[in-house]
Amino acid sequence: MRRTRLVRYGTAAAAVALLVAGCGSSSSGGNNNNAGPKPKPAENVFNAGTTGIRNASDHKGGTLNFVADGDCDYWDPARTYYGFCWDMQRLFSRGLMAYSAAPGDAGLNTVPDLATAAGESPNGKDWTYHLKSGIKFEDGSPVTSKNIKYGIERVFAQSVINGGPTYVITFLCPGPINASGGCDAYKGPYGTDKDPNHLGLSTIDTPDDNTIVFHLNKVVGDWNYIMALPASTPVPISYDQSPKGGAHYTDHPYSTGPYKFATYTAGKSLTLVRNTMWNSGNDPFRKALPDKIVFTVNANDDDIDQRILNDIADVNISGTGVQPTAQAKILSNPSLKSRADNPVTGATRYLAIESKVAPFDNVHCRRAVQYAVSKVDWQTARGGPIGGGAIGTSMLNPTIKGYTQFDAYPDNNGDGDIAKAKDELKQCGKPNGFTTHLASQNNGKGTRVATAVQASLKRAGINVIIDLGNAATYYSQFIGAPAVNRAKGRGLMVAGWGADWPTGYGFFSSLIDGRKILPQGNSNYSETKDDTIDTMIDQAVATTDPNKAGEIWGQIDKRLMTEDATLVPMTWDKALVINSKAVTNAYILSSLLGIYDFQAMGHV
């Protein structure tokens, strides 16, 4: 699943309280408490990790064994866009801001990380941060404001550093954004940067080594949230300018956190060991309990489940939940159930309809899919109400400010309305249906979901050919290049999305802004290009009252569903997750897709 920054059901109000809409505040986007509220221990009972810390311990030492069915998209903090990979970044990289290390609502707070305090702005456009002293890279060299500026500049080099969020380009480009979502006025620190130190972006000032000032091109009340994204991680300039940097930086990003890369084999394994240059005294929350963390890729989801249930592996870091066989075992075994959690991830699972692939260039053909597909079958394929979540009727889910309850396509409680689907097919000139390709991941749930969609659409005469892609590269490469999707006739794509932070902008920006359709690393899979929606997005971003902005996002959601019909909300996600008995300090981090906070974990 792409994107992160999620809250659990029932915490939308708390998320809104964190947004400081007015200008001039030093705490916009979170509180100013370095450590955050002290979390409470939790009893080892079902779902205890969603509100407290399961198996709390300060024990140091041991090895945590992480596993998942795919590698991270990228380990480079500027390129990664997978939720569990953002969580993994907390182990070895530090940015200006971060999310508080606490379960429940407290985990929604942003706290200063490398910064001494949250950013200050007199007008919502000019934001100043001061750095803590004594921060070092893993080689002992000092981290300065210039390293942070350089790290952000790298995002502008989209031909080299692509795949991650591009908010910094949107708000820091000194000129207009081009048709590909890039910045012609500045194209990053490789080759075209005229500054001899590769620091030529004019909209970021570094008056001294401990101060960085951002000059945004518009008012952005959410800037502290954006500075909690991995892209604000500092990067050593000379190392990145060497043959080991640039596109290869993902193989060994330099650490500023408690762990560093020891060995890495792409698509297979990663070993993290202690970073002796990390100083716990200037870190607001990281405990660094294990001596070593080993991550192994295992493509067999059922085997992953069994290894964790049998205490061979410790954590499935994907956070997508166990398979149906393991789910049945957990729910029927009190011992297993007592160490399991069922968080709401805050993500929306959906079908993207490629509006540039015929016949989906006709809105009625898109609406035919909206009516024909069975959301109940999708939910069942993902594990039912516990493993698959609730039936979704809108793209915004109840955890996002701006969510409005409505159902543009009533379909017999999620089972589909074939009569209405066939009527839409007549209106789009395809009364006998048509054939299209459907993209999905090649793991267990991805295959089951694709098969369920195929069967339900066939009822209306829409024939689906399934294309399966590798989980590790599915979003960044398999469906992330619009030209490839068009060439292969992929009219439908299985996807999941969680807000980069819990506002309408944090959720919708990359999904439906027509100005952010990228040639590669694209997230607007449907190629939605609606000038009215783009105008409404600008209006919402410039609205400093979070309630009024939320109203606009709700209107955007309704227009998307009714006028464009390019995205089909299927379920609002939940997952059944479990760890081995040896894991300590297990709790769900509400801000990161309802995934466990990896940096807090220990091993006994």
- Total of domains in the chain: 2
Residue 434, token pair as written in the block: 């048509």
Which segments of 357-462 does DSSP mark as H helices, in order?
Answer: 363-372, 375-381, 384-388, 418-427, 444-458
Determine the Cα–Cα distance for residues 169 and 153; give it in Å rounded to an integer. 9
Output the pLDDT for position 42: 63
Q: 332 Cβ partners below 8 Å, 6+ apart?
A: none
Q: Shortest CA distance to 275 belongs to which of 262, 259, 291?
A: 259
**Residues 262 and 377 placed together within one structural domain of the fold:** no
Q: Which residue has the tokens 């990896």?
A: 598
Left, alpha or beta for 247 (phi > 0: left; psi -120 to 50: alpha)?
alpha
Whole-number pLDDT of residue 41: 67
Domain co-membership, 551 together with 593: no
Using alpha carbons only, how large is the chain's radius of gyration in Å? Answer: 23
Residues 596 and 530 in one domain: no
Cα 206 to the chain's mean position, in Å? 29
- The b-or-e profile of 482-509 (16+ CB within 10 A means b, else e) is beebeeeebbbbbbbbbbbbbbbbbbbb
Give a yes or no: residue 322 inside a domain.
Answer: no
Question: Average pLDDT for residues 244-266, to the nearest whole number?
Answer: 98
Q: Is residue 15 part of a domain?
A: no
What are the pLDDT digits (tens) for 383-428? 899 988 999 999 998 878 789 999 999 999 999 999 999 999 999 9
Q: Are residues 39 and 186 in the same domain?
A: yes
Q: Is the pLDDT of residue 57 over 50?
A: yes
Q: Return the CATH number at 425.
A: 3.10.105.10
**pTM of this prediction?**
0.79
Give the range of the structural domain holding residue 209, as residue numbers without chain letter. 31-295+577-603
Phi/psi of residue 545, nearest 5 degrees: -80, 115
Are 177 and 60 contained in the same domain?
yes
Q: Which helix (H) or strand (E) holds 105?
A: none
The values of phi and psi at residue 415, to 5°, are -90, -10
At 17 the pLDDT is: 29
CATH number at residue 210: 3.40.190.10
To 10 degrees, the CA torsion angle through 101, 107, 113, 117? -130
pLDDT tens digit sequence for 487-522: 999 999 999 998 888 788 889 988 999 988 989 889
Q: Is 330 among the domain residues? A: no
Residue 471 has a pLDDT of 85
Query: How many Å apart are CA 104 and CA 88, to the nearest integer?
Result: 19
Give the pLDDT band of residue 289 (cuts 50, 70, 90). very high
What distance in Å separates the CA atoms of residue 562 and residue 571, rounded to the nearest whole number?
18
- Two tokens at 393? 């009727």
Beta carbons within 8 Å of 205's beta carbon, 6+ residues apart: 212, 213, 215
Residues 406 and 491 in one domain: yes
Separation between Cα atoms, residue 497 and residue 89, nearest integer Å:
19
Least confident of 38-47, 152-161, 400-409: 38-47
Q: Do residue 372 and residue 430 come from a single domain?
A: yes
Q: Is the pLDDT of residue 39 over 80?
A: no
The answer to whether residues 524 and 586 belong to one domain is no
Q: Using alpha carbons only, give the angle 375, 448, 477 rounded to the nearest 5 degrees.
A: 100
pLDDT digits (tens, 9 = 90+) for 536-571: 999 988 887 878 889 999 999 999 999 999 999 999
Average pLDDT over residues 36-52: 75
Both tokens assigned to 402: 């701006």
Strand positions, DSSP E, 370-524: 390-391, 434-441, 462-469, 490-497
Cβ of 47: how many Cβ atoms within 10 Å? 17
Residues 459 and 567 in one domain: yes
- The C-alpha angle 365, 369, 373, rounded to 5 degrees, equals 165
Tell me, yes or no, whether 118 and 161 share the same domain: yes
Cβ-Cβ contacts under 8 Å for 98 (sequence gap 6 or more): 90, 110, 111, 112, 113, 228, 284, 285
At residue 434, the 3 state secondary structure works out as strand
Q: Are residues 561 and 584 in the same domain?
A: no
Q: Is the pLDDT of residue 23 over 70?
A: no
Tokens of 403: 């969510």
Q: Are residues 569 and 582 in the same domain?
A: no
